[in-house]
Amino acid sequence: MEYLIIIIAILVGLGAGGGYLLVSSRRHRRATLPPPKPEPKAPGPAPTDTDERAGAGGGGLDLATEAVAEPAAPEIEVPPPSAGRMVRLRGRLARSQSAFGSVLLGLLSRDSLDDAGWEEIEDTLITADMGVAPARHLVEQLRTEVKVTGSKDVRALLRAQLIEAIGPDMDRSLRVSRHGGRPAVLLMVGVNGTGKTTTCGKLARVLIGDGHTVLLGAADTFRAAAADQLQTWGSRVGAAVVRSDRDGADPASVAFEAVKEGTELSVDTVIIDTAGRLHTKAGLMDELGKIKRVVSRQADVDEVLLVLDATTGQNGLRQARVFAEVVDVTGIVLTKLDGTAKGGIVISVQRELGVPVKLVGLGEGPDDLAPFEPAAFVDAILGS
Ligand code: GDP
């Protein structure tokens, strides 16, 4: 009998110990940030208004499911800090430099410029997608300055004019730090194919390289590959990824769960990738509007970054207009600037939307996303 009692006591003790291990493995993972382990989470159904007010939206995570089957830890990369990238990647703007800088400087180095010469300069600026009105304005200013100052250093005058046209004083900082006990939330919007998902991954690297912790939310649930893509980016740098386990899940539900998980994990920044189907303006408005509404029940949406493909010219500007009517865009990410001679789009898109270009994509490599710096950009396209 005594033996029986001892055996029962040992079994009960083991059971309690096992339960503790499940919980502690979860606690341990949370306590060792950064970096959180990348791990897919399956969000529940989209929270209703009532759920959200009651604080029950999005569905909780299954503790037991989470604690089992720890995957072998992938090798975590440490991305380089983002400072000075625009200067380091200046060579990537070679196409703009040859189409824009070389032509302009050739013209400007003439001893004297006649009307036809000034017109050629204006045409070059327009061909670079700068926009007709800004190009005309810039040339008029330049002409006046050359006349008034009698300066022969037209390159320096042009450089100053271009920097001025881009807006050196615009606030290009990203709100990516925690506030009010919650992570900063970034929504990435834009048409599919512009480089949105890639930019989410690259931006996670930028932020992690700069010392932040990041969680990625795969709310582009219409393109199955998007979540896998994000997962790959996340696992390389140790950013957790919240995704749905089925295609076509409600994007707002994934976004909700991402912010909830980001808050629980105490990360600095949650980046949410969204679907960029430009089906109808009303459809887009419904989708992005719902994501924003659902997220803002838990945290502010600090940045809405519109991703535009710089190679698409006027078409890109049309897309920008539609998105700006649907959401409050706070910044522009211009991708594929390495593949175009039309660097002037920086000026036209800012004019169009009245918001700054904050980041630029300068290649397909993981660290080819740079915080935008007007002076470094102008130096790169003018060439030295
Ligand atoms: P999404 O559909 O908007 O999410 O687009 P993806 O992120 O899948 O990107 C589409 C393609 O654009 C991919 O092949 C990317 O590698 C490529 N891409 C993204 N950004 C850049 C960039 O800055 N430069 C270049 N050359 N390619 C880019």
Q: Within 13 A of 60's CA, how many CA atoms are on the CB side?
A: 5
Q: With a 6 A CB cut-off, is 192 part of the ligand 1 pocket? A: yes
**pLDDT score at 34:** 38
Q: With a 6 A CB cut-off, is 201 part of the ligand 1 pocket? A: no
Q: Within 13 A of 321's CA, how many CA atoms are on the CB side?
A: 8
Strands 369-371 and 357-361: antiparallel
For residue 364, report the distance from its CA to the centre of ligand 1, in Å.
7
**Token pair for 344:** 């002037």
Q: With a 6 A CB cut-off, is 365 part of the ligand 1 pocket? A: no
Helices marked H in the chain: 2-31, 49-53, 63-67, 85-88, 94-96, 103-108, 115-127, 132-149, 154-166, 196-209, 224-237, 251-264, 281-296, 313-326, 345-353, 374-382
Closest by Cα among 88, 87, 94 to 383: 94
Q: With a 6 A CB cut-off, is 92 part of the ligand 1 pocket? A: no
**pLDDT score at 60:** 36
Closest by Cα among 322, 290, 375 to 46: 290
| Nearest CA residue ID for atom 22, ligand 1 | 336
Q: With a 6 A CB cut-off, is 363 part of the ligand 1 pocket? A: yes
For residue 315, report the distance from its CA to the centre of ligand 1, in Å.
17
Work out the number of other CB atoms within 10 angstroms of the CB of residue 92.
21
Instruction: Say how far residue 215 (Cα) sits from the centre of its chain.
Output: 13
For residue 196, report the distance from its CA to the centre of ligand 1, in Å.
7
Work out the number of other CB atoms within 10 angstroms of the CB of residue 308.
27
Q: Walk along the chain (384 residues) and give the pLDDT tens digit of each residue.
A: 455 454 444 443 333 333 221 222 232 233 223 344 444 444 544 444 334 333 333 333 332 223 345 556 668 999 999 999 999 999 999 998 888 888 888 888 887 788 998 999 999 999 999 999 999 999 999 999 999 988 888 889 999 999 999 999 999 999 999 999 999 999 999 998 999 999 999 999 999 999 999 999 999 998 889 999 999 999 999 999 999 988 789 999 999 999 999 999 999 999 999 998 766 778 888 889 999 999 999 999 999 999 999 999 888 999 899 999 989 999 999 999 999 999 999 999 999 999 999 999 999 999 999 999 999 999 999 986
The model carries a pTM of: 0.83
For residue 353, report the distance from its CA to the centre of ligand 1, in Å.
22
Residue to mutate (ligand 1; options 364, 367, 369; most atoms within 8 A of CB): 364
Q: With a 6 A CB cut-off, is 340 part of the ligand 1 pocket? A: no
SS3 category, 334:
strand
Work out the number of other CB atoms within 10 angstroms of the CB of residue 278.
14
Answer whether 274's CB lies under 8 Å from 244's CB.
no
C-alpha angle with apex 35: 33 to 40, nearest 5 degrees?
A: 105
Closest by Cα among 238, 265, 252, 304 to 77: 238
Q: Using the structure block, give the residue that is written with the tokens 């998980």.
A: 261
| Nearest CA residue ID for atom 20, ligand 1 | 195
Q: With a 6 A CB cut-off, is 212 part of the ligand 1 pocket? A: no
SS3 category, 63:
helix
Closest by Cα among 193, 254, 261, 317 to 36: 261
Phi, psi of 326 (to 5 degrees): -90, -40
For residue 169, report the distance from its CA to the centre of ligand 1, in Å.
29
Beta-bridge partners for 274: 219
SS3 category, 341:
coil
**pLDDT score at 37:** 40
Q: With a 6 A CB cut-off, is 311 part of the ligand 1 pocket? A: no
Q: Which atom of ligand 1 is nearest to the CA of 273?
A: 4
Answer whether 332's CB lies under 8 Å from 306's CB.
yes
Q: With a 6 A CB cut-off, is 197 part of the ligand 1 pocket? A: yes
Q: How far apart are CA 284 and CA 50, in angstroms?
A: 24
Answer whether 209's CB lies under 8 Å from 368's CB.
no
Q: How far apart are CA 349 and CA 379, in angstroms?
A: 20
